[in-house]
């Protein structure tokens, strides 16, 4: 049976109101050990619930390195009403247990843990609805899964940036064609891709190690793959080890070397997952951090820090300087038009939200596949091949696309609002490390 999601949104708002009071200080202190025991029990059940949901959506569990016997049996049961009722009842039971913890005193760390676990459970409940056939709007899904609101931008916003690009890249043909032709001058030859990427990784790691202590023996390997809907992916395996896959279906330009090395590796996903495992799962024994639920608020934090981490590692002009002095020569590229290239890239960042609008209208059923591709070509300035690939991503991951830009903006605003500005790199790294090592939710950072 498909439930009325409007009623569930009311429940969602109500539960979030409870959340704001649940860990408030009380007059009569109760032993912290009691709270720890109850939270640990709920956390274990959350992990098992998430793993069970993952049986019915292959993308739901991004990583798991907890007790092997917690994994459910690999049977062939299809998602049906009985499965729905069982999973939904479990989610409700755990949320009820979370609400009952409002009688406890809690430290700041425990409050963060509570909020994190609560929002992750709400995402699990939402996913259960969706598996049962509930159709959510773009806005509903983004809020329920990722704990955030997505600003809606019109064509005028994007046209202002496109007008500036027209001035930088004059010539024949439309701006999308001229941009693609211009970018081809900065394409990394496939035979040089590995050398360029390794140099970028080494630099990103060195800069990260100056500011963050990493777990012993952490490492990752890089694989080059094809026929994927994404550009790159970090598959975290536990024990501080990742496999990073880079998709070579589409051209990879010189700026993507640092983007991918930092985003997927240092100080991005590899560091984030390693620090969570090291600090929260192993040291604190918080078992909820043995699983990474992809469609959850954790992903907005993960993608946001991974994107913002590029600026943290390379403040000001340091990235441009390194790329021109090291990566351009390794790729066999001329630096003659490098300054123009970086000006173009800076403007293109303003168009990232055009991808959100494409997802919004496609998910809400307002645009066909063709209309979505045409929008991406016109306002995201993608090639047709790239636009089709991005649509494939939307089809598979839906509102997940917001985590990259909305997530980055939330992380950026939080860090800079608290003193982590470009002229205070020490504070910026300090706050960045805090976000990588503690339970955080998007709503808690606003």
Q: What does the pLDDT look like over 260-271, one tens digit per residue?
A: 999 999 999 999
Looking at the fold, whether 399 and 328 belong to one and the same domain comes out as yes
Residue 242 has pLDDT above 90, yes or no: yes
**Ranges assigned E (strand) in 202-254:** 219-225, 232-238, 241-247
Residue 10 has pLDDT above 50, yes or no: no
Which pLDDT band holds residue 21 (cuts at 50, 70, 90)?
Answer: very low
Q: Is residue 41 part of a domain?
A: yes
**172 is written with which tokens?**
């024949």
Residue 214 or 78, more confident: 214
Q: What is the pLDDT of residue 73?
A: 86
Sign, CA torsion 395/295/150/244: negative
Tell me the pLDDT tens digit for each residue of 147-202.
999 999 999 999 999 999 999 999 988 999 999 999 999 999 999 999 999 999 99
Residue 279 or 15, more confident: 279
Residues, the chain:
446
**Ranges assigned E (strand) in 258-370:** 291-293
Looking at the fold, whether 371 and 238 belong to one and the same domain comes out as yes
What is the layout of strands, in order, in the sheet containing 241-247?
219-225, 241-247, 232-238
Which residue has tokens 């023996």? 217
Q: Is residue 424 part of a domain?
A: yes
Looking at the fold, whether 83 and 208 belong to one and the same domain comes out as no
Q: What is the pLDDT of residue 33?
A: 56
Q: What is the mean pLDDT of residues 370-386?
A: 97
Q: Is residue 150 part of a domain?
A: no
Q: What is the mean pLDDT of residues 305-321?
A: 96
Q: Is 232 left (phi over 0), alpha (psi -120 to 50) or beta?
A: beta
Give the pairing type, strands 291-293 and 232-238: unpaired
Contact assessment for residue 204 and residue 266, using Cβ atoms and an 8 Å cutoff: yes
Q: Is residue 355 part of a domain?
A: yes
Which residue has tokens 């992903």? 299
Distance between CA 353 and CA 254 in Å, rounded? 22
Q: Is residue 144 part of a domain?
A: no
Q: What is the pLDDT of residue 40?
A: 96
Residue 1 has pLDDT above 60, yes or no: no
Q: What is the mean pLDDT of residues 315-337?
A: 96
Which pLDDT band holds residue 77 (cuts at 50, 70, 90)?
Answer: confident
**143 is written with which tokens?**
């809020």
Q: What is the pLDDT of residue 228?
A: 95
The residue segments making up the domain with residue 42 are 5-134
Q: Is 319 left (phi over 0), alpha (psi -120 to 50) or beta?
A: alpha
Number of separate domains in the chain: 2
Q: What is the pLDDT of residue 104?
A: 76
Looking at the fold, whether 128 and 166 belong to one and the same domain comes out as no
Looking at the fold, whether 210 and 69 belong to one and the same domain comes out as no
Looking at the fold, whether 262 and 385 belong to one and the same domain comes out as yes
Residue 74 has pLDDT above 90, yes or no: no
Distance between CA 390 and CA 372 in Å, rounded? 10
Contact assessment for residue 308 and residue 412, using Cβ atoms and an 8 Å cutoff: yes
Alpha helices (runs of H) in 314-418, residue ranges in sequence order: 318-322, 328-331, 338-348, 353-363, 369-379, 384-397, 402-417
Q: Is residue 61 part of a domain?
A: yes
Tell me the pLDDT tens digit for each residue of 384-418.
999 999 999 999 999 999 999 999 999 999 999 99
Neighbours of 275 (CB within 10 A): 23
Residue 28 has pLDDT above 70, yes or no: no
Q: Is residue 146 part of a domain?
A: no
Looking at the fold, whether 176 and 311 belong to one and the same domain comes out as yes
Contact assessment for residue 281 and residue 113, using Cβ atoms and an 8 Å cutoff: no
Q: What is the pLDDT of residue 337?
A: 95
């Amino acid at each position: 049976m498909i439930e009325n999601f409007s009623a569930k949104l009311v429940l969602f708002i109500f539960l979030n109101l409870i959340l704001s009071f649940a860990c408030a200080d009380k007059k009569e202190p109760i032993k912290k050990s009691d709270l720890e025991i109850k939270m640990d029990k709920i956390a274990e059940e959350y992990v098992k619930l998430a793993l069970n949901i993952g049986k019915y959506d292959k993308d739901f569990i991004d990583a798991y390195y907890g007790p092997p016997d917690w994994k459910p049996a690999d049977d062939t049961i299809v998602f049906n009403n009985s499965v729905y009722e069982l999973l939904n009842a479990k989610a409700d039971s755990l949320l009820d247990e979370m609400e009952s913890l409002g009688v406890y005193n809690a430290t700041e760390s425990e409050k963060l843990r509570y909020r994190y676990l609560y929002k992750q459970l709400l995402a699990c409940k939402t996913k259960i609805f969706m598996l049962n056939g509930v159709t959510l709007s773009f806005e509903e899904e983004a809020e329920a899964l990722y704990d955030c609101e997505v600003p809606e931008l019109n064509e005028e916003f994007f046209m202002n940036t496109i007008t500036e690009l027209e001035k930088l890249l004059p010539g024949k043909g439309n701006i999308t064609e001229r941009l693609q032709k211009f970018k081809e001058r900065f394409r990394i030859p496939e035979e040089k891709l590995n050398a360029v990427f390794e140099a970028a990784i080494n630099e990103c790691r060195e800069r990260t190690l100056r500011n963050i202590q990493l777990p012993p023996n952490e490492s990752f390997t890089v694989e080059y793959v094809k026929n994927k809907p994404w550009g790159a992916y970090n598959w975290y395996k536990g024990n501080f080890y990742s496999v990073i896959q880079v998709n070579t279906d589409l051209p990879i330009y010189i700026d993507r070397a640092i983007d991918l090395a930092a985003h997927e590796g240092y100080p991005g996903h590899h560091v984030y997952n390693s620090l969570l495992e090291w600090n929260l799962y192993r040291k604190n024994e918080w078992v909820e951090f043995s699983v990474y639920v992809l469609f959850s608020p954790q992903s907005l934090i993960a993608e946001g820090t991974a994107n913002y981490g590029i600026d943290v590692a390379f403040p000001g002009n340091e990235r441009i300087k390194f790329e021109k002095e090291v990566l351009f020569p390794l790729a066999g590229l001329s630096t003659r038009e490098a300054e123009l290239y970086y000006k173009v890239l800076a403007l293109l960042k303003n168009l990232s939200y055009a991808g959100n609008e494409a997802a919004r209208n496609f998910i809400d059923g307002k645009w066909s596949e063709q209309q979505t591709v045409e929008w991406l070509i016109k306002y995201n300035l993608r090639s047709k091949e790239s636009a089709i690939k991005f649509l494939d991503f939307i089809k598979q991951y839906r509102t997940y696309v917001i985590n990259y830009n909305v997530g980055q903006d939330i992380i950026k605003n939080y860090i800079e609002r608290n003193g982590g500005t470009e002229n205070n790199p020490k504070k910026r790294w300090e706050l960045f490390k805090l976000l990588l090592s503690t339970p955080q939710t998007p709503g808690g950072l606003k």
